[in-house]
Every structure is written in C-alpha cells, then in structure tokens.
Amino acid sequence: MTAELNLTADPVELTAALVDIPSVSGTEKAIADAVEQALRQQAPHLEVVRNGDAVLARTNLGRGSRVVLAGHLDTVPINENVPSHRTGSGADEILHGCGTTDMKGGDAVMLNVAAGLAEPRHDLTFVFYDCEEIEAERNGLRRIERELPEWLAGDLAVVCEPSNASIEAGCQGTLRVEVRTTGKRAHTARAWMGDNAIHAVHPILRRLVDYVPREPEIDGLRYHEGLQAVRISGGVAGNVVPDECVVTVNHRFAPDRSPAEAEAHVREVFDGFDVTLVDSAQGALPGLNQPAAAELVAASGGEPVAKLGWTDVARFAALGMPAVNFGPGSPTVAHTREEHVRTAEIRHCADVLRRFLG
C-alpha cells in the first residue's frame, strides 16, 4: 500500500513522513510511488511523469523563464535512525532521522512549493530523482538527461541539498590521481640489494605538506582549493622490500578551472613522478550575475557563500544554466547516525522559495 503524503501540510510534518519511508539508494520505489501519487492527486496544475524511480512535475504556463528545482529521494544506509523523532521545541526544535538533512527536508520544501504554487511567476520544473548517493553512472539525473533532456532545461537550477538554509553558489570541481613510485624487490635481510618504493614516496608527501592552495574570488565569493593524499597502498610481504607504492591524491579545484587545467596543475605539482588520472568532474560557476539567481539571493535575505564541495549543480551548469544549492540542514551531519535538521530551517527555506517564485 502506498504511503499517503499531505503536500500542503507543515513542511516539517512532510519531512518526517518522508523520512519514515525508507529509501536507501536502489530501493526508492516506495517513496517514488508516494511522491507520484501525492503530486497527481494534490497538484492538478502540474504535468507529472515517472522515469524509473524518479518523479518529475512541471507547470506549462508560458512564462518567460523557467526555474528547475531538484532533489534526490535516496539516502545512505539506515543506521538505527528511522523512524524520525523530535527534540526541543519552538525555535530550538530539531527533527532527527536518516535523510532529515540529506535531503528529505529539501524534498519536503520542494513538494510543499509544488502543491502550493498554482500560479508562479516563473514556470517551474520539479525533479525528484534516485541513486544520488552511490556510483555516478546510476545517478537518476544522468538517466533523465539521456531520456527526458527537455525536463532539465531552464534559466536557473536550485538543488535543495543541505546548505544551512543559505545560498551556496556553484561548486568546486574534483579529481583523483594516483602518484606511483617503483623500486626493486629484495629480502629484507639483504635490503641493500633492493630499492624500497614506499620510502620513495617521501618527496610526494613533502610536496603535499608544503602545498599552498589557491583561494580565488569568483562573483564576489571565495573558493578554497585543496590537494590531499587520501590513500597510500604498497607492500608485498613482511619480509620483502616493496617494489611499488601508490599515493592517491584528491584535488578540489575552483570552478574557474576546467578538469583539464586542474589535471595539468596536479601533474606540474608531481613533476618527475608517474601520475595517472583516476576520475574528474567539472565544477560549476556561481552565476549570481544572472537575473533569476540574483532574485533568489535577494529573497533569501542572506549573503551567498561559495560551495566548497561537488554537488549536482555541476550537472545543470554543464547544461548552460546557473545553479545554486539551497536547502535546510548542515552538510556536516549528513550520512551520520546523528543526522538531524532544525525545523526552523525547513520552514525558512519553504518561505524563501514561495517568496521568490510566487
């Protein structure tokens, strides 16, 4: 039996209802069924389609601009933190549970706005998608881009990921490389006959320790780059001098650099070593000079900040539109057993989006 959601209720109540529908990545059918049913029954002004375990809805009012709002329905594995519960009261009330922050609070805000705004001043598209928390090739946005690309077109994208209820503009790019050293095996009793590849990573680590990251300013926002070793692997056996060692390095780069430029920079840092690119993803420029983005910033009543991480705003930026993160909750508690969100932030985000769009 499909769970029933009241889209026009207090968005805090709606968040709790969504949290209480388990939706670990790959098992989103139940929550997608509930969202689809609620939109079809309670938002007759919207065109609704289903794509796998993603649900899409939009207005077709012929407005001069379109805003796309996106949020994923899946969560990381539950860690004894469902069903939801609350602590505190009033301005200090907190909703606890898996997905409260990442990102069912944002989904609830989107659903509440979708049902409550029949005559928005921009045309609106709402995208509730699956499999964001796992490998990128299964991300529902990628499938939608292939199969229903017209549903992702707009003049501004708002991804309702947790951003402490403030505008986080754009996002950093990310790439990983493997920096490899080689040596010669020998018995450790006669170590001088070999060449230890693990010992040879010392200059690699020294370069990382001494590295000074850029802090470029883009559209008035300061991005802080980073270059960090995230894994070291090497060794053959307890009595063998190792002949190979690999240091995996993650580079977070500001969106004024392309992945190719960031890769070239990393290769320059590790000049003289064998460097292999493992993966990379483009960042997203903030685009706050675009009219719709500027209007959202004004409606929020706060100062925007740079997004110091990678989110799906980059997918929308690659489609040629400015994109921002705006949602309730702190990213620092996402994916933890103690995940929670301040209920005041959920209501604030809903109020801001209604003011901006209505």
Pairing of strands 323-325, 221-222: unpaired
Q: How far apart are CA 307 and CA 324, in angstroms?
A: 9
- For residue 179, what is the DSSP state? E
Q: How far apart are CA 174 and CA 146, in angstroms?
A: 23
Give the CA dihedral 159, 160, 161, 164, nearest 10 degrees.
Answer: 130
Ordered by where they begin, the domains of the chain are: 11-170+284-357 (3.40.630.10), 173-281 (3.30.70.360)
Q: How far apart are CA 344 and CA 277, in angstroms?
A: 43
Residues in the chain: 358
Kindly report the pTM of this predicted structure.
0.86
Catalytic residues: 74, 132
- For residue 319, what is the DSSP state? T
* pLDDT of the chain, 358 residues: tens digit per residue: 788 999 999 999 999 999 999 999 999 999 999 999 999 999 999 999 999 999 999 999 999 999 999 999 999 999 999 999 999 999 899 999 999 999 999 999 999 999 999 999 999 999 999 999 998 889 999 999 999 999 999 999 999 999 999 999 989 999 999 999 999 999 999 999 999 999 999 999 999 999 999 999 998 899 999 999 999 999 999 999 999 999 999 999 999 999 999 999 999 999 999 999 999 999 999 888 888 888 999 999 889 999 888 889 999 999 988 899 999 999 999 999 999 999 999 999 999 999 999 8
Do the beta carbons of residue 322 and residue 305 sit within 8 Å?
Answer: no
Residue indicated by tokens 């077109």: 153
Tell me the two tokens of residue 340: 């929670």
Question: Would you state the pLDDT for residue 137?
Answer: 86
Q: How many CA atoms lie within 13 A of 325 on its CB side?
A: 30
String of b and e for 67-82 (b: at least 16 CB within 10 Å)? Answer: bbbbbbbbbbeeeebb
Do the beta carbons of residue 145 and residue 162 sit within 8 Å?
Answer: no
Q: How far apart are CA 272 and CA 339, in angstroms?
A: 44
Q: How far apart are CA 276 and CA 252, in angstroms?
A: 17
Short-list 21, 53, 22, CA closest to 132:
53
